[in-house]
Amino acid sequence: MSSGTESSDSAVKTERPAQTTDFRSGNEMASLAASHINFHVMGYYPITPSTEVAEYLDEMWANGEHGVKMVPGDGEHGAAGICYGASTAGGRVFNATSANGLLYSLEQLPVQSGTRYPMVLNLVCRSVSGPLDIRGDHSDLISTLDMGWIVLCAKDPQATYDMTILAVKIGEAEGVRLPVIVADDGFFTSHQKRKISYFSDAKTVQDFVGEFEVINSSVDPTQPITIGPYMNDPDQINNKKQLSMAMKLSETVIPKVFAEYEKISGRAYKPLETYKMEDAETAVFILNSAADTCMDVVDKLRERGKKVGAIYPTVIRPFPADELRSVCKNVKALLVADRADSYGAHGGRMSHEVKAALKDDPDNRTLVISRIYGLGGKDFFSEDAETMYDLTFEAVEKGKVEVPYDYIGASPGDPDWKPAPGVPVLTKADQSPGILNVFKDEKTGKVEVKGVKQRDLTAMPHRITAGHGACPGCGIFPSIGTFLKGIEGFVVMLWHTGCGMVVTTGYPNTSFAITYIHNLFQNGAATMSGVVEMYKERQRRGEIAQDEEITFVMVTGDGGLDIGLGPALGAAFRNHNMIILEYDNQGYMNTGNQMSFTTPLGHATSTSNVGTVGRGKTFNHKDSAQLFSATHIPYVFTGSETNYKDLIRKAAKAQWYARNEGLVFGKLFSDCPLNWRHADGNGQEVIQAGIDCDFFPLYEVENGITTLNYDPSAKGKKVPVTDWLKLTGKTKHLLKPENKDLVDQFQTEVDRRFARIRAMSENPIL
């Protein structure tokens, strides 16, 4: 991973195990802890800002530094399923996720806890969409509180390391046997480097957590068991009572495990941490990184003679209610700051838990104020913390809380402000230059396109405007832009989450001159189906003119078509009048170049690293065009900007088929100079080489009949795959002699797949 430098061993005098001082971020520490624990399996799916945890672990794995088997999910739901299965099979399991990734996998959380299989989930807290926000808040964390998991909070990178280790021992404790979340703050902690210590020898950690005790193994045929029976009343309530008892038991286990850890690490933790609370008259209760800021402000206010303190829990499930009641005995006013709102509940989630805990102490007179702060990653400055303490002073002075619930840090905005005006609205006539002639040849039964002249087509207005923030040389915009040259008339687009979406719609700006919708990338195709059917239904009811026509285009990256494959296939089975376009740049580029299922064999990404052991991706690329072909939709095609006339022709046909027959799927071979690692201007050369080596065949399937549109061999242009692989940084290692077997394997697969397409093209029945 990083350049990590061993500096000093601090343990000589105390006879504790040796530790190394270093300068690391929260994500680095989570992955380091996981490697020290040496979990058996990590099931994961990349999502910002937790992504790096899997990246660092993969990088360490590639260099033989640990034995954690890394299994990439098809989405967070799938990743959670991998983790569940792995945990039933009798080993230690780890996962890392954030925000909507967590919510997508949420239904798996009670399955894990209800059947009592421990594991550790590093939740790198981030704002839940929508609109999409990738920064840190706790709107994901609050969704986990009722799932039957123990929840530990880590306010800084050191705590992330420690809590990950502690989580193993707590969750696996006899009688507890519950999964554990370790929550730290996205970006604030996950991406901030601090001076930290870790055990110099992973064995120290492994001795501390001990051997994994296998209970209820799914892979012991000598003891057959049924895991997860069908359990209604009257039994389910008793399963939950047991879970509740386990949670209760953990309240005594946690302090013991913390104390044991202090002995070897020198670092003490308590379920409810307090700062200068001994004589505090008012305080702020706050989670994670923002507690640091409050402590700075406590020091500052105490210099001015104010008796203030700060409270921050390291355990919120089970909620440290006894400790809180004890700490708050003499507190006159307490502000509970939530980095997430419970809309309509008149207060943030933590404020309710605090109020509920204090209510159980009949003598408690603490005034409780609820404030929501820092949503969507809004920075929390010491001035904000001071505002919180001022509110506690005001409450004490007035003897009551005048505004029990409100936001801190939201901006009213300038009433005179108007967003920058956009481009003139594109009329139907503007978007219908009438250059292409599309018709069905009644004799052949095929749809034909005449008039594909790129010079004339420069008259087609850009539905996506300039000013987007993609990297220099990005292949997405030539791919989609060229496709749109072939589409006449009104267009409504839906884009999945991904690079293309993020760089075009940063509020308050948009690069879409036409109507655009975003939905998260599990669900774009389903969402577009709903749009199409509502449009048609409203036409049927006469609410929208019968003769109005819109072409509906849903755009996804190859990543969105991994996690969103199910709904996309569902849309295909239903055969809606719409187009699904996949721009395939062979990786999750928006989150930093993790492998996707379309990443080819041996290609290096941030989760298929090259090292002493790692040789890039370990399995072959997904063939999404053939997957959709198997759904028997009217039209499937592949295309590329390098063969632009072919692509524009296919776009016009796609529009014809979407209008007249149903769903169209198109796959575009799209460049990413940043993560493929080649010069910004070379995209077309690289793409063309990928086509000329037969890796990416250009073909179309019309009502089941395949036509190969470009056969490099027939044109005398066929090259070996190495002619393509030598052009990008992500594949250069494959040219080394030691990887020849891998390249041979790849060449064989490419040739086999191309031969199939050629055979289909030659035989209509195929």
Q: What CA–CA distance (Å, rounded) separates 451 from 431?
A: 16
Q: What is the DSSP letter of 368?
A: E
Task: Compute the least distance from the CB of residue 606 to other proteins, in Å.
Answer: 10
Task: Compute the least distance from the CB of residue 365 to other proteins, in Å.
Answer: 30
Rounded to 5°, angle at Cα 644 from 639 and 649: 75
- Total residues in contact with other proteins, by rule CB under 8 A: 101
Q: What is the DSSP letter of 216?
A: S
Contact letters (x/-) for other proteins, 53-72, by CB under 8 A? --------------------
Task: Compute the least distance from the CB of residue 430 to other proteins, in Å.
Answer: 12
| The two three-digit tokens of residue 238, written as one number | 């008793």
Which lies closer to other proteins via its Cβ, residue 285 or residue 512? 512
Please choose, out of 95-103, 188-196, 362-370, 568-576, the segment that lies near other proteins by the rule CB under 8 A: 188-196
Q: What CA–CA distance (Å, rounded) separates 328 from 330?
A: 5
Task: Compute the least distance from the CB of residue 33 to other proteins, in Å.
Answer: 20
Single out the residue of 27, 31, 293, 527 in contact with other proteins (rule: CB under 8 A): 293
If binding is defined by CB under 8 A, does position 467 make contact with other proteins?
A: yes
Could you write out the DSSP letters of every residue in 88-143?
Answer: HTTS-EEEEE-HHHHHHTTTHHHHHHHTT---EEEEEE-PPPSS---S--STTGGG
If binding is defined by CB under 8 A, does position 509 make contact with other proteins?
A: yes
Please choose, out of 128-136, 313-321, 566-574, 757-765, the segment that lies near other proteins by the rule CB under 8 A: 128-136
3-state secondary structure of 479: helix
What part of residues 410-429 is at the interface with other proteins (CB under 8 A)? 410-415, 417, 419-423, 425-426
If binding is defined by CB under 8 A, does position 674 make contact with other proteins?
A: yes
What part of residues 9-38 is at the interface with other proteins (CB under 8 A)? 21-23, 25
Please choose, out of 364-372, 509-517, 661-669, 701-709, the segment that lies near other proteins by the rule CB under 8 A: 509-517
What part of residues 675-734 is at the interface with other proteins (CB under 8 A)? 679-685
Residue closest to 385 by CA, chosen among 444, 309, 313: 309
Single out the residue of 141, 257, 499, 658 in contact with other proteins (rule: CB under 8 A): 499
Single out the residue of 478, 486, 524, 614 in contact with other proteins (rule: CB under 8 A): 478
If binding is defined by CB under 8 A, does position 508 make contact with other proteins?
A: yes
Please choose, out of 11-19, 165-173, 499-507, 537-545, the segment that lies near other proteins by the rule CB under 8 A: 499-507
Q: What CA–CA distance (Å, rounded) separates 162 from 184?
A: 12
Which lies closer to other proteins via its Cβ, residue 33 or residue 589? 589
Task: Compute the least distance from the CB of residue 25 to other proteins, in Å.
Answer: 8
* Cβ count within 10 A of residue 18: 15
Q: What CA–CA distance (Å, rounded) separates 320 from 357?
A: 9
What residues have CB less than 8 Å from 679, skipping those under 6 apart? 473, 673
The rounded radius of gyration (Å) of the Cα atoms in the chain is: 29
Could you write out the DSSP letters of every residue in 289-334?
Answer: HHHHHHHHHHHHHHHTT--EEEEEESEEES--HHHHHHHTTT-SEE
Could you write out the DSSP letters of every residue in 692-734?
Answer: HTTSS-EEEEETTEEEEEE-TTTTT----HHHHHTTSTTTGGG
Single out the residue of 503, 544, 708, 719 in contact with other proteins (rule: CB under 8 A): 503
Which lies closer to other proteins via its Cβ, residue 130 or residue 445? 130
Single out the residue of 113, 274, 366, 504 in contact with other proteins (rule: CB under 8 A): 504
What part of residues 560-619 is at the interface with other proteins (CB under 8 A)? 589-593
Task: Compute the least distance from the CB of residue 458 to other proteins, in Å.
Answer: 4
**Are the C-beta atoms of residues 491 and 463 closer than 8 Å to each other?**
yes
CA 203 to chain centre: 32
Residue closest to 594 by CA, chosen among 67, 95, 56: 56
Which lies closer to other proteins via its Cβ, residue 153 or residue 246? 153
What part of residues 372-411 is at the interface with other proteins (CB under 8 A)? 379-383, 410-411
